[in-house]
């Protein structure tokens, strides 16, 4: 599991670096909506729950900032399907 997830506002992504490898969840801003476009975890880091941690951090940020989300990334879509407690954040959902 990542030790620290950073919200890189300039790059519009949540990120963590482990053993010199960076995993990210990228987004676009469309007004008051965050569109989660892509999650990327390097192969050697997969299976550790890193994508889930990135997604949780992004969802916490959306909730704290009063924004809704549009999941375009297939991982985020699947995650939200498993974690219905975040359903209220989905725009149009």
Q: The domain that contains 29 carries what CATH number?
A: 3.40.630.30
Answer yes or no: are the C-beta atoms of 20 and 44 closer than 8 Å. Answer: no
Q: Residue 41 contacts by C-beta under 8 Å, 6 or more apart in sequence?
A: 23, 50, 51, 54
In terms of Cβ atoms closer than 10 Å to its own Cβ (0-12, 13-18, 19+), residue 84 is exposed
* Residue-level pLDDT at 1: 47
Specify if 63 maps to a domain: yes
* Residue-level pLDDT at 92: 82
Q: What is the 3-state secondary structure (H, E, C) of 55-71?
A: HHHHHHHHHHCCCEEEE
* Residue-level pLDDT at 93: 59
What is the pTM for the complete model shown?
Answer: 0.94
Specify if 37 maps to a domain: yes
Specify if 10 maps to a domain: yes
Domain that holds residue 3: 1-67
């Amino acid at each position: 599991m990542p030790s620290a997830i950073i919200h890189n506002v300039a790059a519009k992504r949540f990120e963590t670096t482990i053993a010199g490898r960076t995993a990210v969840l990228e987004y676009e801003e469309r007004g008051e909506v965050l569109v989660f476009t892509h999650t990327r975890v390097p192969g050697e880091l997969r299976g550790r729950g890193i994508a889930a941690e990135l997604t949780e951090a992004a969802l916490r940020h959306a909730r704290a900032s009063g924004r809704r989300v549009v999941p375009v990334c297939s991982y985020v879509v699947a995650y939200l399907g498993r974690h219905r407690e975040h359903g209220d954040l989905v725009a149009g959902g």
